[in-house]
Every structure is written in C-alpha cells, then in structure tokens.
Chains A and B, each alone.
Chain A
C-alpha cells in the first residue's frame, strides 16, 4: 500500500506527472477509437454500395 501511495505522490509532483500521462492516454485512445470507427463506417458504406451495384447488374443482365 505504501508503494502505491508513493507512486501516486510522485515525490510531490503527482499533480503534474499523473495529469500529463492521463491526458496523453486519453488523446491517443481518442484518436485510435475515431480512426477505427472511421475505417469501419467508410468500408461498410463502400461495401453496401458495391452490393447494390452488383445486384443491379444482376437484374439488368436477366432483363
């Protein structure tokens, strides 16, 4: 327990060290999540459009 409180205290600099790491983790995770969501939704949209096109082409050829 003592080592945990020492880690939190950071020799008196805990109020500077932990926010620095906290905000870094938040920002980097934020960019990561936004990028994953962006890639998934863009690829899903392309997929949907291509499926519709293939379906349309299929009906055209049978007509």
Chain B
C-alpha cells in the first residue's frame, strides 16, 4: 500500500487548494477580460486588434510553461519513480495542448489583419506548431500501450527529448529573422510595454496559471482513482487465478 502514500497526500492537498485556485482563476480572468476588452486602450499602430494579445501571449506562455512542467514531471518519474509524477505529466498534457492550440489560432487571427497572412513558415510559428505536435504525440503515446506503465515511460522519454524545442521557441525571434516580433515583456531591462497593457496581460496570465492548477487537480484525481481501480482489478485477477 506504500504506493498510495503520496497520492493520498496529493488528494488531501488538492482538496484544500482547489477552491482557491478556481476562485483565483475566475476572478482574475473576469477582471482580465474586462481590462482586455474594454478598459485598456487601443494600440496607436495596431488599433483594437492589439486586444488579441491579451489571450495570445498568456496562451503562448502557458503552452511553454505546461511543456516544461510536463518534462519536469516526466524526469521525476523516470529518475525517482515518483508514483505521482507520471500521472501529473499526463494530466498536464491536454492543458498545454489546448493553450498551444489557442496560441496558434489567436496568432493566426492577429496575423491576418497585421501581417496580411494567416500563417507563415517562420521560426517562431513553426516551432510553436512543433510544440503542439509534441503534445499530441505525447497524448497518443501515453495511451498506446495496454500496460499503462510502459505508456508512461515511453511518453516521458518523448517529453524529455521534445523539451529541446522550448528554448528554440523562446529564442527563435532572436536567432532567426522572423516575421514575429521579439519579446517585449520578459526581457533584459524590464518590460517595454505600458502598464495599461501590462495589467490585463498579467491578470490573464495569472488566471490561466490558476486554471492549470485546477485542471491538474481534477485530472490528477481522475488518474489516481483510475490507477486504484486497476490495482484492485489486478489483485482480483491474481486471486481468481490462484483459485481463491
């Protein structure tokens, strides 16, 4: 039963955290949406199309953040055989995929009026598309085996190998001459963006982070319950085959 020791602690902690993470997510997203769509100014060059930034940029941050989290959980699972790490990596993947997908779609909707094209094979856009495929590959692989442990192991290796893509995304705008603009928030010398735009951006980013925590808890609970069901079933099969 030692396998359940850590998940039991996770479940206790999850019960405490979930109301707070959900509350923070709802509040900061509601406030962030109000600033993003109404209270913040239009850009002097981009007009109101700049409002897409408040969902596009936090979604891009989350796409990368979730991948780093997934790779870190995978490393913990492979190195220390932490019983929860595999489950948390698996729980993070769909959230990261959703945010990466949203980053690409909102970027496309922003690119059309600003760049005159929905899509360009530029380094930033292409590396972000690869990130989406890595998530989809991970999710397919983790469920591809009858034995979940083998699926977890194979997918964890994919997550770690694919992690090389994250710095490529981050610095793609500096390494290559891309259509995409370089970083203006996370950069040396502080953000090059007015506080009237930084506030909704950070509120949305906080809301997305709290959303991820809530989803991680929900999906983690589902994974833990499913694993307990598997263990019980296996025990029943063993007992039956011994003729008990």
Contacts and interface: CB of A to CB of B under 8 A. Distances in A.
A and B interact: yes
Interface in A29-63: 30-32, 34-36, 38-39, 41-43, 45-46, 49-50, 53
A25 B232 CA distance: 38
B232 A53 contact: yes
Contacts of A14: 48
Interface residues of A, number: 31
B120 interface: no
Given A19-B109, A39-B221, A13 B95 contact: no
A20 B56 contact: yes
Majority secondary structure, B binding face:
helix
Contacts, number: 97
Contacts of A36: 218
A31 B232 contact: no
A6 B173 CA distance: 35
Contacts of A11: 42, 47-49
A32 to B, nearest CB: 7
Contacts of B214: 32
Interface size class of B (residues with CB under 8 A): 35 or more
Contacts of B215: 31-32, 35
A1 interface: no
Interface string B35-78: 00110001000011101100110010000000000000000000
A63 to B, nearest CB: 14
Nearest to A19: B109
Contacts of B81: none
A22 B42 CA distance: 19
Given A13-B113, A20-B56, A42-B222, 9 more contacts: A17-B37, A23-B106, A24-B59, A24-B106, A31-B94, A39-B218, A43-B221, A45-B225, A46-B225
Interface of A: 7, 10-14, 16-17, 19-21, 23-24, 27-28, 30-32, 34-36, 38-39, 41-43, 45-46, 49-50, 53
